Amino acid sequence: MKEKVLGINMRKVIVLLLCLIFIIPPVSASDGGENKEFDIEGTQISAIDIPSTSADGKNFIITLTLNEENNVTNVAWTWQICLNSGVCLAPTPEDLTSSDDGKTWTTSMTPVDDHSYINFRITLDFEDGNSTTYPESGWGGKVWSDCWISGDETGGDGCNSEGGFLGLPGFTAIVAITVLGVVAIVTMNRRQ
């Protein structure tokens, strides 16, 4: 009888621990709302001009300036939009165009609705046929939207006053996990 009581109590503890694990928000590699600067040190890039925030449905322009002495034949960027729901869309590679014989390169894209931020990296193609991506892995830059959600944090000047904490997608998950945990405990108690 004692083993059965311990087994039931242990199941309750395990269910509660699992609920707590799922409720704890995931740790983010960067703080919500903080743009990640693109490191151009040691590259042939002298400047990258991008907006400080992005907005749903509004043109997002990137302008990249190369050093005076360069052997670059093409500039591309790969961008990725991440949504407020926590899902990131597939990365999109895109060439920039130059209007001044290869010193300044530019292009634009339009963020989808309800996006949280834009990740990007740069690829330079050289006269000798080689190319280099900055950074070699991961994303070199990040620009947050004017209305973002990251875990249980929200921010941005473009958010309307509706929603608040109850509008967060994570809130629904917390409630669902808590309800499932309570149902599991009640079901175990009824089996006794």
Looking at the predicted structure, is the pLDDT value of residue 174 above 80?
A: no
**Residue 136, domain extent:** 45-154
Task: Determine phi and psi for 149, rounding to 5 degrees.
Answer: -130, 130
Residue 100, pLDDT score: 84
Domain contains 161:
no
| CATH classification of the domain holding 98 | 2.60.40.1930
| Tens digit of each residue's pLDDT (9 = 90 or more) over 91-141 | 999 999 998 888 999 999 999 999 999 999 999 999 999 999 999 999 999
Domain contains 84:
yes
Rounded (10°) angle between helices 169-191 and 2-23: 170
Q: For residue 36, what are the CA distances in angstroms to 32, 110, 179?
A: 10, 19, 37
Domain contains 130:
yes
Domain contains 55:
yes
Domain contains 73:
yes
* Structural domain count of the chain: 1
Domain contains 2:
no
Q: Model pTM? A: 0.68
Domain contains 92:
yes
Domain contains 89:
yes
Q: For residue 63, what are the CA distances in angstroms to 47, 89, 97?
A: 8, 23, 9
